[in-house]
């Protein structure tokens, strides 16, 4: 299943040549409480007016609690959602290929920037407040997804490599991505023994439930609890993870950009590789073609748990090895790279596929 209302609209917008006009006006729409731009075509404005409405079951108190939780656990969540989720995404075949063959695949730095806009907006303290921008980014992303669904089936390269599902970004595909972010992040927090109260866990689930609704997923498919989310993740995410040429290439580009942007004085490539491997585990790292780094792999395995325990005030400073601060700084550089990519960029509707693929 896909997104019939958005799909019909964006196919029309593309086919009648309205993409440049719509993108220009969408750049001026930046806040949750801001009216949709007056100059938009009528059908686009009417769709956005409906799409920007929160579901009736959205709980303001939980959204506020989720914002506070994101702030208090931002170091871990930004690392997991920004970097870990990115490494997972390249091992999801349809996602890796839809990114690679769509317009954004030609400029991965810009693609990372656009992806980070929505991901990090969810973690903002004002995410769903009037002066926040999650609703803005979610509606724009929903429209981009619909545009890609219209365009990619026209790509010969996508046609050859897409397998049996010729239309990308189905409801199931969006939930697969959701699990590579929200469910994965919560699982890692628990694995790392980060204290998370049941109220905070419920609030964090809720902000992602609301967000995936805003992306056009039907409510009956959205997990109602973490138990349901873990079960659904095992059903739809775990079995499909595999290596693809496109995914390996995208992973190499992402890790290479990270090492390039944070050096000198930042992270060298071996430590980039090791941190990526530690975040997603050996199975996914092998799928992504992330090389093993014997020294740093061992260091992360032994020292990261101590660093987390110190951050959570579970062990005193003398028990933290000095090398832990190198890892701490590397993680901060990872986060900074992903956080700053979105500054000054805009989520825009594509009107073509990746140039040069045929």
Q: Where are the domains of the chain?
A: 55-345
User: Looking at the predicted structure, is the pLDDT value of residue 146 above 80?
Assistant: yes
Q: What is the pTM of this model?
A: 0.94
Q: How far apart are CA 307 and CA 321, in angstroms?
A: 9
For 164-179, the pLDDT digits (tens) are: 889 999 999 999 999 9
- Grade residue 345 by pLDDT with cuts at 50, 70 and 90: confident
Write out the two tokens for 120: 């990090």
CA distance 69 to 63: 10
pLDDT at 342: 55
What local confidence, expressed as pLDDT, does residue 224 receive?
Answer: 98
Average pLDDT, the chain: 91
pLDDT given at position 357: 64
pLDDT (average), residues 217-227: 98
- Contacts from 268-275 at CB under 8 Å and sequence distance 24+? 270/295, 270/296, 271/296, 271/326, 271/330, 272/330, 272/334, 274/299, 274/300, 275/83, 275/300, 275/327, 275/330, 275/331, 275/334
Lookup: tokens for 114 = 């656009």
pLDDT for residue 341 is more than 80: no
pLDDT digits (tens, 9 = 90+) for 290-339: 999 999 999 999 999 999 999 999 999 999 999 999 999 888 887 877 77
CB atoms within 10 A of CB 63: 19
- Residues of the chain above pLDDT 90, percent: 75
Whether residue 18 has pLDDT greater than 80: yes
State yes or no: pLDDT of 106 exceeds 90: no
Give percent above pLDDT 70 in the chain: 94
Residues whose CB is less than 8 angstroms from the CB of residue 132 and which lie 6 or more positions away in sequence, other chains included: 31, 32, 121, 124, 126
pLDDT at 6: 98
Alpha-carbon distance 29 to 298, whole Å? Answer: 47
Q: What is the pLDDT of residue 82?
A: 83
Q: Which phi and psi angles does 133 have, rounded to 5°? A: -140, 15
Tell me: pLDDT of 107 over 80.
Answer: no
Cα–Cα dist 350/146, whole Å: 10
Full 3-state SS string of 166-235: CCCCCHHHHHHHHHHHHHHHHHHHHHCCCCCCHHHHHHHHHHHHHHHHHCCCCHHHCCCCHHHHHHHHHH
**Cα-trace Rg, the chain:** 20
Lowest mean pLDDT among 169-173, 199-203, 258-262: 258-262
pLDDT band at 261 (very low <50, low <70, confident <90, very high): low
Digit-coded pLDDT (tens) for 44-96: 999 999 999 999 999 999 999 999 999 999 999 989 988 899 899 999 999 99
C-alpha closest to that of 48 among 138, 132, 133, 129 = 138
pLDDT at 20: 97
């Amino acid at each position: 299943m896909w997104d019939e209302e958005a799909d019909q609209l964006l196919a029309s917008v593309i086919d009648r040549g309205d993409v440049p006009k719509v993108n220009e006006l969408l750049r001026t729409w930046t806040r949750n409480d801001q009216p949709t731009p007056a100059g938009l075509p009528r059908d686009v404005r009417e769709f956005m007016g409906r799409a920007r409405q929160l579901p009736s079951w959205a709980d303001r108190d939980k959204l506020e609690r989720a914002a506070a939780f994101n702030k208090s656990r931002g170091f871990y969540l930004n690392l997991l959602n920004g970097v870990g989720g990115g490494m997972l995404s390249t091992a999801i075949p349809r996602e890796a290929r839809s990114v690679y063959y769509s317009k954004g695949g030609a400029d991965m730095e810009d693609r990372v920037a656009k992806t980070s806009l929505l991901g990090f907006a969810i973690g903002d303290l004002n995410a769903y407040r009037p002066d926040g921008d999650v609703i803005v980014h979610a509606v724009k992303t929903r429209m981009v997804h619909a545009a890609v669904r219209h365009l990619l089936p026209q790509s010969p390269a996508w046609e050859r490599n897409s397998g049996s599902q010729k239309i990308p970004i189905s409801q199931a595909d969006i939930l697969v991505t959701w699990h590579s972010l929200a469910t994965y992040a919560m699982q890692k927090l628990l694995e790392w023994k980060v204290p998370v109260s049941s109220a905070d866990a419920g609030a964090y689930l809720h902000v992602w439930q609301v967000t995936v609704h805003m992306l056009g997923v039907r409510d009956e498919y959205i997990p109602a609890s973490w138990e349901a989310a873990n079960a659904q993740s095992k059903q739809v995410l775990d079995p499909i993870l595999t290596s693809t040429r496109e995914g390996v290439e995208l992973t190499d580009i992402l890790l290479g950009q990270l090492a390039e942007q944070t050096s000198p004085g930042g992270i060298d490539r071996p430590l980039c590789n090791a941190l990526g491997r530690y975040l997603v585990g050996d199975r996914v790292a092998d799928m992504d073609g992330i090389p093993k780094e014997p020294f740093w792999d061992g260091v992360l395995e032994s020292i990261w748990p101590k660093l987390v325990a110190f951050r959570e005030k579970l062990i005193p400073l003398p028990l933290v090895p000095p090398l832990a601060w190198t890892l701490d700084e590397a993680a901060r550089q990872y986060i900074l790279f992903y956080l700053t990519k979105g500054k000054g960029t805009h989520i825009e509707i594509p009107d073509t596929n990746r140039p040069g693929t045929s």
